[in-house]
């Protein structure tokens, strides 16, 4: 094919198509990460609920006993409170990670939309070029 018959923006069209494919892959990766952070957030929420239930059970009134038994019971409640605090901290970290990943998904969507727009501009130009070439060929035949 001679240079006159070749679309001059063909390399750019190929680059835009590749860029769109890359952006699709990035979006898929971001969505996959968001799903895994969502699962981690759900697990952390379950751990908080079970730690709360354990603390409530530890706070249940016990039969009065010796001072040592009361002290052990209070120490048990303190341990359960610490477990609950750690579970709440872990849930907050999981929530922050999930929100950050959702932001990454939004960013990836924006990049994909931009890449699609750039590809479509080239595709429209290519369609116009083909139409012009066809019209020119028809005029030459007449």
Do the domain assignments include residue 124?
A: yes
For the segment 74-95, what is each residue's pLDDT rounded down to a tens digit?
A: 898 999 999 999 999 999 999 9
Q: Which domain holds residue 89?
A: 29-134
Q: At residue 139, does pLDDT exceed 60?
A: yes
Return the number of other C-beta atoms located less than 10 Å from residue 45's C-beta. 15
Is-above-0.95 flag for pTM? no
Split into its structural domains, the chain has a count of 1
Do the domain assignments include residue 18?
A: no
Q: Find, among 137, 39, 19, 50, the residue nearest to 95 by Cα.
A: 39
Do the domain assignments include residue 12?
A: no
Do the domain assignments include residue 11?
A: no
Do the domain assignments include residue 59?
A: yes
Do the domain assignments include residue 10?
A: no
Q: Return all residues near 111 (Cβ < 8 A) that are at least 6 apart.
A: 23, 26, 27
Q: Specify the pLDDT at position 5.
A: 63
Do the domain assignments include residue 140?
A: no
Higher pLDDT, 63 or 102: 102
Do the domain assignments include residue 60?
A: yes
Taking each continuous run of H as one helix and of E as one strand, the counts in the chain are 2, 0
């Amino acid at each position: 094919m001679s240079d006159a018959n070749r679309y001059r923006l063909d390399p750019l069209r190929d680059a835009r198509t590749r860029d769109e494919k890359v952006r699709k892959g990035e979006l898929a990766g971001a969505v996959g990460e968001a799903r895994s952070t969502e699962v981690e957030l759900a697990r952390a929420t379950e751990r908080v609920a079970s730690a709360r239930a354990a603390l409530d059970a530890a706070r249940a009134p016990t039969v009065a006993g010796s001072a040592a038994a009361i002290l052990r019971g209070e120490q048990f409640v303190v341990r359960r409170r610490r477990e609950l605090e750690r579970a709440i901290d872990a849930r907050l970290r999981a929530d922050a990670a999930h929100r950050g990943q959702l932001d990454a998904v939004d960013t990836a969507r924006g990049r994909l939309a931009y890449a699609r727009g750039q590809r479509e501009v080239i595709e429209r130009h290519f369609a116009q070029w083909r139409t012009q070439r066809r019209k020119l060929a028809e005029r030459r035949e007449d």
